[in-house]
Amino acid sequence: MANQGVLKRGPLSPPSNPGSSNQEEGVSKHRVIIVGAGPAGIFAALKLKGAGLRHILIIEQGEDIERRRRDTGRDILCGWGGAGAFSDGKLTLSPEIGGFLEDFISRDELKNLLIEADGLYLHYGAPKKTFGSPSEKTETLTYLARQAGMEFIPTEIRHVGTENWAKILKKMREDLGKEVTVRTKTRVEHLWVNKGAVRGVELEDGQKLAADCVIVSPGRFGADWVKREMERLGLSSSPNPVDIGVRIESPAVILKDLTDTAYESKLIYYSKTFDDRVRTFCMNPYGEVVIEESNGIVTVNGHSYANRKTENTNFAILVSSNFTEPFDDPINYGGVIARLANLLGRGVIIQRLGDLMEGRRSTPERITRCITRPTLSSATPGDLSFVLPYRYLKDIMEMLEAMDKIAPGIFSHHTLLYGVEVKFYSNRISLSPTLESQVKNLFFIGDGAGITRGLLQASASGILAAREILKRV
């Protein structure tokens, strides 16, 4: 357990003229400042506000929910609601998937947190229907996956759908009301720390905002910023693996048995050539492939609607890579590969699997003749072998060949590959069981802190940190 032996804190003193000028520092004073308005930050605010705490400020560098658009790569990742909640939105109810909170709390505590977070989503309008509950079909899929050399992880999922998330996020925004101040289009430059305790935050324009507690929840979009701040403050951490791969698109009928059984099939494969861990991620039945943009880097992702269908299903195949000395910058490594794809393809590259296997690039003419009709029209036909190292390509090809045994037709010349897909996660920060850092009253939560990798665990991490803060006030 990543317990830094943080001492039990006493009650926090009342803020001096909360919400107004603090005479000692000459800055606005708040009880709690939350950096980032993704699921982790929102759920922390809901928990604090629901318990009657006031003088809470949320700072978000992206747009408010009313102004976010899905046709811009940056808006998909950044803004009120974060990345996953704004695009598609799957709530993974199983504690085995979606993060590492079990490294901090017991399995029973995690289950209860997930139940609480899921209950809030239901309260705000998430559908009651779930997919992937244990059944004869999931048992059969487990057996077939093992025969093919893969592991199928049974996972119960609640799929909200892209078009429904905005409604839920708006309700949450309205429910926080005037009791919680929200500042969008505002960027935090530094965490303000003095004598081993957090004092607040410093904005990009140099303005300082004071707070008794600060919760850092910037999501994957802010992973690089978190890394820089950890180094500046001297906080100990360990690198997370970097996930690099491609997004696969094929006719939905090819994967229908899988998606009807589990909606999002979690499959893990260990490659024969390199013994690398390869996995499926973010499966979107009858969905669309979309682009993401983070810090000038364009990558690929996917989503699906609840009531609107395409003829295709898409999912990612990701290879997890751990690095040893002397290299310790997986975020930069993933960024370099993504930039190379952007350089060659002026954004996202698309290639037929058959062309990749034949050692040739895909051309617009070859894509036009492809049986699988791409849902991302802006992707540039090209050759992914100029971008991804041989190791990654070999791992991906091996997994597709293994998947063909349980989903015949996926290892087809007409399967489309989009590249690249990179998941940027911050280093794992040394945290207490309540997600407090080595700096007093400074908490890190969500994907950007490197401790979660999914909507529900991110939301649960916000509740966990908020509980501890409520004990202190």
pLDDT tens, 217-238?
988 788 889 989 999 999 988 7
Q: Using pLDDT thresholds of 50, 70 and 90, give the confidence band for residue 28.
A: low
> Is residue 29 predicted with pLDDT exceeding 50?
yes
Domain shared by 307 and 440, yes or no: no
**Domain extent for 121:** 21-132+156-237+428-472
Residue 3 has a pLDDT of 42
The answer to whether 450 and 428 are in contact (CB under 8 A) is: yes
- Is position 388 within any domain? yes
Domain shared by 417 and 446, yes or no: no
What value does the mean pLDDT take over residues 126-146?
Answer: 92
* Residue for token pair 């910058």: 329
Residue 54 has a pLDDT of 93
What value does the mean pLDDT take over residues 431-438?
Answer: 96
The count of structural domains within the chain is 2
Where are the alpha helices (H) located in 269-348, listed in sequence order?
Answer: 330-345
Structure tokens at 80: 């009120």
- Is position 68 within any domain? yes
What is the Cβ-side half-sphere exposure of residue 189, based on CA atoms within 13 angstroms? 8
- Is position 223 within any domain? yes
**CATH number of the domain residue 459 falls in:** 3.50.50.60
Residue 111 has a pLDDT of 96
Domain shared by 332 and 440, yes or no: no
Mean pLDDT of the chain: 89
Domain shared by 262 and 350, yes or no: yes
The answer to whether 29 and 22 are in contact (CB under 8 A) is: yes
**Does the global pTM surpass 0.75?**
yes
What value does the mean pLDDT take over residues 109-118?
Answer: 97
Domain shared by 176 and 296, yes or no: no
pLDDT above 90 coverage of the chain, percent:
68
Per-residue pLDDT of 156-191, as tens digits, reads: 999 888 788 889 999 999 999 889 999 999 999 999
Structure tokens at 234: 């001297």
Residue 306 has a pLDDT of 82
Domain shared by 71 and 180, yes or no: yes
What interhelical angle do 39-50 and 107-123 show, nearest 10? 80
Domain shared by 284 and 362, yes or no: yes
Residue 84 has a pLDDT of 64
What value does the mean pLDDT take over residues 233-246?
Answer: 87
Lowest mean per-residue pLDDT among 44-53, 78-87, 155-164, 236-245:
78-87
Structure tokens at 357: 């296997």
- Is position 305 within any domain? yes
Domain shared by 209 and 270, yes or no: no
- Is position 15 within any domain? no
Domain shared by 290 and 228, yes or no: no
List C-alpha distances in Å: 285 to 10, 157, 254, 384: 50, 13, 11, 24
**Last residue of a domain, which of 423, 442, 460?**
423
Domain shared by 365 and 217, yes or no: no
Burial class (CB in 10 A: 0-12, 13-18, 19+), 473: middle
Domain shared by 267 and 329, yes or no: yes
Residue 388 has a pLDDT of 97
> Is residue 378 predicted with pLDDT exceeding 60?
yes
> Is residue 441 predicted with pLDDT exceeding 50?
yes
Residue 86 has a pLDDT of 62
Task: Give the span between the Cα atoms of 256 and 137, in whole angstroms.
Answer: 13
Q: How many residues does the chain have?
A: 473
Contacts of 324 (CB under 8 A, 6+ apart): none
Domain shared by 298 and 436, yes or no: no
Residue 224 has a pLDDT of 83
Residue 2 has a pLDDT of 42
